[in-house]
Chains A and B, each alone.
Chain A
Amino acid sequence: MKHEGRSRQNLKVIMAVSHNENIEAALKSQIVPDQEFLLQGSVMDNSLGVLIDRLRGLCDNSDVHPETFHDHEVVYILKDFNAPATPGPASQGVMLRVRRAVDRPDLPHQLRYVGYPELGNYPALLRNCLDVPVSSNVREFLQELGAKLDHEFMAKGYIMKKGRIKVTVFKMYKMGPGMTKENLEPMTMSHLVELSVLTTKTDMSVADDLRALADQLKPLVQLERIDYRRV
């Protein structure tokens, strides 16, 4: 009985690897896909058909029609709103984005953190990025957390993929009182084109594939690394 007790104790020790140790180990060995390469551009609405045809030819599954999406994105800022404003990143707070698929209410909401672009000569814009699927009460949660709503919009368009690269072509719509799903007010006369890929700190090879795909879309779309701090 004594022996049995001890072996149980040993088993406990072996199995007692806590969650935090796992995630810390994953972070240390840099296998968490928390880096995003991004290239952005835009196309006028009247050229959309040509671009979609071109992309269908370049991307995977060219035999089926590209998948559409209709997302609602709400952007919150989390910072100490009572603190006096001081220059520097500390007072800017953290931007947290909540996305939900309007056309697929069964899918979980997505909470997204996007960091500032990294400095350096990368083929595409590189930034820290975290996507976390969350339960549908996330907006209430963020408000109670102390975050304030900054802005929101609707995005409607097409999503395709080529290997690990995600290609989205979408139009942004304003949100406001009286806006319904059928009655949306577009922000611009053009569609936004984004090529992005999620990767780890140790695997940067995919950035060149991203650049190659972007080059194949010229001169239809000019895809560039856009640093919002310089806009």
Chain B
Amino acid sequence: MGVSVLQIFPDASRSGCIETEKLHKRIMNLDAVQCGMFTVDCDSYYTTAQTGGGVRKMHIVHNTETPATTYAILDTGSKQVTLSADYLFDLMLPRLDHMYQSKKNLKIESKGAKYEVGDFVVKIGTVTMSGHYKGILVEVEYLPSVTPALCWSLMREFMQSFMGSCVKPTVPPYLQNKFHDVHTPQDTVQQYVEKFNEFREGPTFTGATPSAPSS
């Protein structure tokens, strides 16, 4: 486990496979080795009753990198608590349905191929929400370090080498808040939830920057 950074890759054409093919070609040019597939999925549960302090959300995330773990991320609006639990936690959820109910149409996942490039692991994921294509999400993990502060500039340079200018020179806000902390698997899934929420909120998401890099 190293440090992971997530990046939305702009897909102006909204075709999906053309852009992932492009990324595949570029990463293969960097001597990458494809090593299987990955999936990160997220189900969201909302409080059924208006209990005082507004609606609370609970995101249930699975990551194929940690297949025996279920992550439950509780978002009260002011505070986030991430619980790592055994996979059996999923069976607990139907018992909580008097308080929390799942919004089936918000089920979102990122699925795709995984590559190894030296000390980096790159995952190029296609994001779909209840079957509809939403965009491309790239996860880059740098294995030898666990502190973002010590490897961010190296990671940025690597990410820019195959994703171009969509990678901002500034540190992503999530990472900035935990710049000197030890990076954990929870940090990775929390970043996924953050990005998934961006995809959900933007109904026709085409990427943050119009200046997509030319291949």
Q: Tell me if A83 is interfacial: C-beta within 8 Å of chain B.
A: yes
Q: Tell me if A90 is interfacial: C-beta within 8 Å of chain B.
A: yes
* Given A16-B37, A79-B99: A141 touches B84 (CB 8 Å cut-off): no
- Judge whether A82 and B41 touch: CB under 8 Å: no
* Given A79-B98, A94-B95: A145 touches B58 (CB 8 Å cut-off): yes
- Judge whether A12 and B37 touch: CB under 8 Å: yes
- Judge whether A144 and B49 touch: CB under 8 Å: no
From A16, A82, A144, name the one whose CB has the most chain B CB atoms within 10 angstroms. Answer: A144
Contact residues in B for A23 (Cβ distance below 8 Å) = 87, 90-91
Q: Which residue of A lies closest to B48 (CB)?
A: A80
Q: Which residue of A lies closest to B47 (CB)?
A: A146
Contact residues in B for A20 (Cβ distance below 8 Å) = 41, 43, 62, 90
- Judge whether B111 and A16 touch: CB under 8 Å: yes
- Which residues of chain B from 91 to 113 have a CB within 8 Å of any chain A CB? 91-92, 95-96, 98-100, 109, 111-113
Contact residues in A for B58 (Cβ distance below 8 Å) = 145
CB proximity of B148 to chain A, nearest CB, Å: 21
Contact residues in B for A141 (Cβ distance below 8 Å) = 72, 74, 81, 83
Q: Tell me if B154 is interfacial: C-beta within 8 Å of chain A.
A: no
* Given A16-B39, A80-B99, A81-B51: A140 touches B90 (CB 8 Å cut-off): no
A-B contact count (CB 8 A): 104
Q: Tell me if A32 is interfacial: C-beta within 8 Å of chain B.
A: yes
Q: Tell me if A60 is interfacial: C-beta within 8 Å of chain B.
A: no
Q: How far is the CA of A16 from the CA of B109 in the complex (A)?
A: 11
Q: Tell me if A121 is interfacial: C-beta within 8 Å of chain B.
A: no
Q: How far is the CA of A21 from the CA of B62 in the complex (A)?
A: 12
- Judge whether B96 and A131 touch: CB under 8 Å: no
- Judge whether A135 and B84 touch: CB under 8 Å: yes
Q: How far is the CA of A138 from the CA of B43 in the complex (A)?
A: 20
- Judge whether A135 and B85 touch: CB under 8 Å: yes
Q: Tell me if A189 is interfacial: C-beta within 8 Å of chain B.
A: no
- Judge whether A132 and B111 touch: CB under 8 Å: no
Number of interface residues of B (CB under 8 A): 42
Number of interface residues of A (CB under 8 A): 38
Q: Which residue of A lies closest to B186 (CB)?
A: A135
Q: How far is the CA of A131 from the CA of B92 in the complex (A)?
A: 9
CB proximity of A32 to chain B, nearest CB, Å: 7
- Judge whether A113 and B95 touch: CB under 8 Å: yes
Q: How far is the CA of A81 from the CA of B39 in the complex (A)?
A: 37
Q: Tell me if A19 is interfacial: C-beta within 8 Å of chain B.
A: yes
Q: Tell me if B203 is interfacial: C-beta within 8 Å of chain A.
A: no
What are the interface flags for A82-97 relative to B under an 8 Å C-beta threshold, 1 for contact and 0 otherwise?
A: 1100000010011000
Contact residues in A for B84 (Cβ distance below 8 Å) = 134-135
Contact residues in B for A78 (Cβ distance below 8 Å) = 96, 99
Q: Which residue of B lies closest to A140 (CB)?
A: B81
From A27, A32, A111, A146, name the one whose CB has the most chain B CB atoms within 10 angstroms. Answer: A146
* Given A18-B41, A93-B98, A145-B58: A137 touches B88 (CB 8 Å cut-off): no
Q: Identify 19 new A-B residue pairs, CB closer than 8 A, beyond the known A80-B48, A115-B95, A132-B92.
A: A16-B37, A18-B39, A19-B64, A20-B90, A27-B91, A34-B91, A90-B98, A93-B98, A94-B95, A111-B92, A113-B92, A130-B92, A132-B88, A134-B85, A134-B86, A135-B85, A137-B82, A144-B76, A145-B99
Which are the 5 A-B pairs with shortest beta-carbon distances?
Answer: A19-B62, A135-B84, A134-B85, A141-B83, A80-B49
